[in-house]
Amino acid sequence: MLFNTLDYAWFFALAFVGSWSLALFTRFANRPAPAESAAGAAGRASAAAATPRGGFLGLLGSSWPRIVFLLALSYAFYSFWNWKYLPLIFGSSTVDFLLARAIDREAQPRRRKALLFVTVVLNLGFLGFFKYWNFAVENVQTVRGLLAGAPVSAIDTLKVTLPPVGISFFTFESMSYVIDVYRREMPAHRSYLRYLLFVAFFPHLVAGPIVRPRDLLPQFERAPSLTRDEAGEGMFLVAVGLLKKVVLSDQLAVNLVDRVFERPENYSALEVLAGVYGYAAQIYCDFSGYTDIAIGSALLLGVRFPKNFDAPYQATDLADFWRRWHISLSTWLRDYLYIPLGGNRVSEWHTYRNLMITMVLGGLWHGASWTFVFWGFLHGLGLGVTRAFQRSRAQKGKAKVASQSFPARATMVLLTFHYVCFAWIFFRAPSFKQATLVLKQLGTLTTFHPNLPPILVGLLVVALGCCYVPQRVYLWLRHGFSALPAPLQGTLLFLVAVVLHEAASAVAVPFVYFQF
């Protein structure tokens, strides 16, 4: 079920009405009786405090009807993709919940490490089998062919036709919970149902953001609330996200990017460059648009997700870019891969090694293809060069970019953007051959552009311009919308719906990150 469809609108309407109805009903049911004496109320409170909370089923607690309702809806949401994979997400969540409880109870370090090893192997095993098995089989076949000196017939073995949608996201979320418990950064959660909901909560289930357990689980413990400002913010985020996706990303994809990357030899260098710029705008508008809808949907249900994008194309270097792009993934890789490898607490050589390993594995996380691995390599290389450059400047006592003049900062932003665009070529191209064709066509320096009509150029300019809107302008628009009277908010949302209807293609275009 795609966020940019009417099916999701009806589904979310059911989730909104149902969850808040249950929340209000629970609050009303737990209200003290008017005739109850103070002593009686104190005794009831004392008895409630003495009752053990949590338990395996997690049904003890006043908010469990809402939790059960949202969990059932989340599993229903996932079943729209492929109901056959429901046992996978349910089973992996259950195993991690039980292993975390066992790790939390265990005092001996060796046993705790053994239990952690089990959960890491299981999670990465699921991920590796469903997402990378075919990739491994194909590469084994290629190596066999090279060693034999002749083509080898296809390996007769199991083929995974379609990996479960969102497996990279919910695997990382569930695994991070067990690791946090192992590190004693949080206690094992006592509520089984709330933990299942943490993993399966539908706004972030299939494409993130990768929400940390310490951020989300406590929100399921307390009674939900929704202020007028939060409701306005949620509706604003959903509307902006849909505009980014349907009006900007989808139109660029259909009318420019897909055509250029499919047959780059048919276009001039200028048109191919527009296609590369178009993909940079497309993937940002697409993924940040999805994140806006996810955050807005969760907020309307009384749950707040962390920020996942912070104007990444305004970054002054590659390290700054990764502090702004897909923040939930970059911080996950930092905390659970880069730092455990030693981070920058080791020798300079080992720091560069850790950066490269982290980014190459981050590229492989995106997809089972050598082009994704090379994309990660390019970012690891860029981060290493950035670090070496910054260390050299620090040793010479030169000022940071943040304190330099506007022309210097603009130059750094421009250089960073173009390096990111260069890496995007390998991220988008289905093969190295196709990526090479794109680069070769750019090298022709031809400038004829019959495939760039003014309306398409204008759309590209608007999409790229959205990447450079100052944060204060965005916040001003968001707060302004939230402050409007409800009738005006409704009118603006209706106009957005009209624009979306006119701009939408005949078939809803899936979000880019759904493939990961």
Q: Which sequence positions are flagged as catalytic?
A: 366
Quick check: 452 and 274 in contact, CB under 8 A?
Answer: yes
Residue where the block lists tokens 């082009």: 371
Nearest in space to 206 (alpha carbons), one of 481, 449, 8: 8
d(CA 131, CA 135) in angstroms, rounded, equals: 8
- What's the one-letter identity of residue 239? A
Quick check: 163 and 131 in contact, CB under 8 A?
Answer: yes
Q: Give the three-class secondary structure for 54.
A: strand
Nearest in space to 211 (alpha carbons), one of 128, 149, 107, 294: 294
Q: Give the three-class secondary structure for 171.
A: helix
Which residues, other chains included, contact 290 with Cβ-Cβ below 8 Å and sequence gap of 6+?
3, 207, 241, 245, 511, 513
d(CA 483, CA 304) in angstroms, rounded, equals: 20
Cis peptide before 450 (omega within 30 of 0): no
- What's the one-letter identity of residue 79? S
- What's the one-letter identity of residue 221? E
Nearest in space to 516 (alpha carbons), one of 240, 130, 203: 130
